[in-house]
């Protein structure tokens, strides 16, 4: 305790960083390694601005002592670019990523895995500053090289397909995005929830219905928490009148939480369970589950925001309209604004992924339900 309050982890890290400056002044190499570790800890906690000064010192040390082509230098530049990006310093992230890619190509090779990841990072930075054509061009190159080097079924190839699909979807290329995700689904069903999310966002209701049914059927009997979670969440993006499939989705969500009790992704599983309970009309239970999901996360704003919106809808359906509206107003104030052009969904200029889309879909549904001038509609016919 200090001055009647608990010392936070961030304060402890800050004190440790200052201590390194004095205690290891005569051991710069060791100090750089420990600064890198502290910076990584800050980053993992979502404290990107706090990570940056440490990572800048690490980068500067390796540049001065080993030069730009040294592996530790490149790793330090890569980590610093990540923090710049997450802190919203997109121009600095882009410039650094351009340097990293150029050096990776020289030091390694154009087809080396680290080079391909550098290309992927730079493409994301292009998207963050509105250079969508450059982002697409680079990600198309990444995908072609992934297919050549690793094959169609490799996880890195599938990740490249998913990233490129997100870019296509964010710039209005819904046909290209859906087509690419459909190809990926043929190789790995784990991509299917992303497909379901984009189908929902673009209003492809019949296709979404087929996808979510397929997901639930494929996930039955699974012993993988993530598989159960993905199927349940995808099925519950929209209301359903199929009681049997709703019950299966709920069972899968429960299975995901049970299997994932010690999993770091447990808050995501709890969110899916709350969504499934809500869709099944178990509003009081959903409210409690969603409260737990909301309280167990700090840096995952998508979980907190989506959980809060479903919790507001749960309260509203329990005839607690005032409480629901207060919670909805809080959630709305903390949510990133909907894109000006919903056919080209961007988040503060950045490309979006399925978790942001799910957040926005929940907001649109909650707004239509809670702010409706007439009596609340039934769950089965909730507005889209």
Write out the H or E segment, with its range, that includes residue 364.
helix 354-370
Q: Does 296 have pLDDT greater than 90?
A: no
pLDDT at 7 over 60: no
Between 203 and 17, the more confident residue is 203
Comparing 297 with 263, the larger pLDDT belongs to: 263
Task: Report pLDDT digits (tens) over 173-214.
Answer: 889 999 999 999 988 888 999 999 999 999 999 999 999 999
Confidence grade of residue 3 (pLDDT, cut at 50, 70, 90): very low
Largest CA distance in the chain: 72
pLDDT of 17 strictly over 70:
no
The yes-or-no verdict on residue 93 having pLDDT over 70 is yes
Does residue 99 surpass a pLDDT of 70? Answer: yes
Q: Which two tokens stand for residue 252?
A: 């899968």
Residue 202's pLDDT is what?
93
What is the pLDDT of the chain when averaged over all its residues? 89
Q: Report in angstroms the alpha-carbon separations of 316 from 144, 361, 384.
A: 49, 17, 17
Q: What pLDDT score does 27 carry?
A: 78
Average pLDDT over residues 117-143: 93
Q: What are phi and psi of 120, to 5 degrees?
A: -60, -45
pLDDT, tens only, 38-49: 889 889 888 899
Residue 299 has pLDDT above 80, yes or no: no
pLDDT of 312 > 60? The answer is yes
The DSSP result for 96-119, as a single string, is HHHHHHHHHHHHS-TTSHHHHHHH
CB-side exposure of 152: number of CA atoms within 13 Å? 7
123-132, 226-235, 365-374: segment of lowest average pLDDT: 365-374
Q: How far is CA 63 from CA 57, 71, 73, 77, 174, in A?
A: 10, 11, 6, 9, 43
Report the predicted TM-score, pTM, of the whole model to 2 decimal places: 0.81
CA 35 to chain centre: 27
Query: Where in the chain are the domains?
Result: 199-384
Which of 58-67, 290-299, 305-314, 326-335 has the lowest average pLDDT?
290-299
Average pLDDT (113-133) is 92
Q: At what angle do helices 71-86 and 113-128 cross, to 10 degrees?
A: 30
Distance CA(289)–CA(200), nearest Å, equals 24
269-286 average pLDDT score: 97
pLDDT at res. 377:
43
CB count in 10 Å sphere of residue 59? 25
Q: Which CATH architecture has domain 199-384?
A: Alpha Horseshoe (1.25)
């Amino acid at each position: 305790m200090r001055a009647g309050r608990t010392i936070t982890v961030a304060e402890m890290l800050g004190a440790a960083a200052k201590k390194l400056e004095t205690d290891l002044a005569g051991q710069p190499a060791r100090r750089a390694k420990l600064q890198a570790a502290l910076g990584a800890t800050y980053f993992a906690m979502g404290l990107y601005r706090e990570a940056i000064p440490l990572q800048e010192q690490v980068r500067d040390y390796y540049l001065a002592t080993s030069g730009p082509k040294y592996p530790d230098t490149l790793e330090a530049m890569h980590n610093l670019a990540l923090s710049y990006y997450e802190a919203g310093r997109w121009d600095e992230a882009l410039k650094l990523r351009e340097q990293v890619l150029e050096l990776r190509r020289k030091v390694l090779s154009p087809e080396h895995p680290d080079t391909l990841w550098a290309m992927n990072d730079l493409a994301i930075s292009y998207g963050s500053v509105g250079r969508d054509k450059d982002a697409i061009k680079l990600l198309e190159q990444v995908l072609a090289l992934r297919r050549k080097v690793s094959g169609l079924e490799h996880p890195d190839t599938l990740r490249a397909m998913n990233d490129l699909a997100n870019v296509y979807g964010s710039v209005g290329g819904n046909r290209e995005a859906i087509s690419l995700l459909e190809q990926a689904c043929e190789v790995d069903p784990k991509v299917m929830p992303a497909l379901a999310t984009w189908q929902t966002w673009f209003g492809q209701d019949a296709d979404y219905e087929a996808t979510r049914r397929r997901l639930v059927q494929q996930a039955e009997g699974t012993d993988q928490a993530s598989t159960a979670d993905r199927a349940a969440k995808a099925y519950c993006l929209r209301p359903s009148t199929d009681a049997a499939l709703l019950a299966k989705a709920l069972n899968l969500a429960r299975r995901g939480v049970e299997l994932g009790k010690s999993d770091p992704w447990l808050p995501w599983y709890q969110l899916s369970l709350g969504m499934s309970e809500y869709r099944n009309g178990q509003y009081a239970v959903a409210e409690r589950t969603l409260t737990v999901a909301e309280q167990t996360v700090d840096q995952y704003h998508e979980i907190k925001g989506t959980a809060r919106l479903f919790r507001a809808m749960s309260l509203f359906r329990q005839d607690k309209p005032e409480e629901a509206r207060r919670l909805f107003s809080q959630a709305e104030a903390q949510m990133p604004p909907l894109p000006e052009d919903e056919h080209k969904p961007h988040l503060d200029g950045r490309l979006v992924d399925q978790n942001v889309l799910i957040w926005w879909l929940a907001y649109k549904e909650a707004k239509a339900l809670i702010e409706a001038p007439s009596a609340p509609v039934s769950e089965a016919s909730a507005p889209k």
